[in-house]
Structure 1
Amino acid sequence: MPDATHDDLLAGFTAPQPYTMEAVASAPRAPGVHVVLDGGVVIYVGRTRRGLRDRLRQHLTGNRDSSVLHDQVGQLLDTPGNAASAADIASWLGRCDVRWQETDNPEGTKEALVVALKPRFNRQVPKPRQASGGE
């Protein structure tokens, strides 16, 4: 179950909804940040300086070169000798929830969420700054 910090970090986001094309159709065409949740746990944080709607659609219908999330889920679903199809990936994501928030600072918002939540499908988690001579 998410803790208070998790809820606070996502306070400005939309309510969770199934990650389907129907939900994506209601996303704005504005810059923002989106999170994908599996069982209430944030597994991916993404951002776009363009339209949230288009980026969310790209994760569902794109290809592994155009979407880190699409690629990461594909790798999870791949079996020896059989690469997961785009439909397999979209089906898996459809069992997840998605939330988003419009923001003029998608990069900063995403970085803060990745550092705090450490989502499993984000390839690079920025290292928090440490004081020299740390304990």
Structure 2
Amino acid sequence: MPDTIHDDLLAGFTPAQPYTTEAAAAAPASPGVHLVLEGSEVIYVGFTGNLRNRLRQHLTGNRDSSVLHQQVGHELDKPGAVATAADIAARLARCEVRWREDDNPQATKEALVLALKPRFNRQVPKPRHSADDEA
């Protein structure tokens, strides 16, 4: 049975493709939202002012420059052995990536994180309430 809610949330995103430096280089240098997937599971949602640079940074950066890099590293760390940047990049290379240009990427990211609860997003934003909700 298809997950129509999931499909609706991801409308407008590129098709999933292997998360490689080539895929990152093909992304536009514009604001947007990006998703990292393992199989059909969205494991991370991010937003940025430059999709191309941010996707590249997740793959080639370090734990200080990328929350995704940091979170994957924590998962790969073992007692007495910290995962290297190469270990983290190799893990991400087994994932897929999708993106969508967006004029309000932060709001889109927050909505997707609330709906999908990806495991590598450090914190889930709190739902916003209108004044009518509090009455």
- In the TM superposition, what whole-angstrom CA distance separates every residue of 1:61-118 from its partner, at most 9, and x where no partner exists? 1010110000000000011111111111011011111000001101111011001111
User: 2:107: which partner in 1?
Assistant: 108
Match of 1:75 in 2: 74
TM-score (norm 2): 0.92
Structure 1, gaps ≥5 residues long:
none
Equivalent residues in 2 for 1:19-30, closer than 5 Å: 19-30=19-30
1: CA distance between counterparts of 2:126 and 2:27? 31
- Which residue number corresponds to residue 128 of structure 1? 127
Give the fraction of aligned pairs with identical amino acids, expressed as a percent: 72
Structure 2 alignment gaps of length 5 or more: none
Q: TM-score, normalised by structure 1?
A: 0.92
Which secondary structure state, in structure 2, belongs to the residue aligned with residue 25 of structure 1?
helix
Aligned CA-pair RMSD: 1.6
Rounded to whole Å, the distance in 2 between the matches of 1:2 and 1:108 is: 26
Structure with higher helix content: 2
Alignment of 1:1-135 (within 5 A): 3-49=3-49, 51-129=50-128, 131=133
**Runs of 4+ off more than 6 Å:** none
Output the CA distance in 1 between the equivalents of 2:99 and 2:109.
11
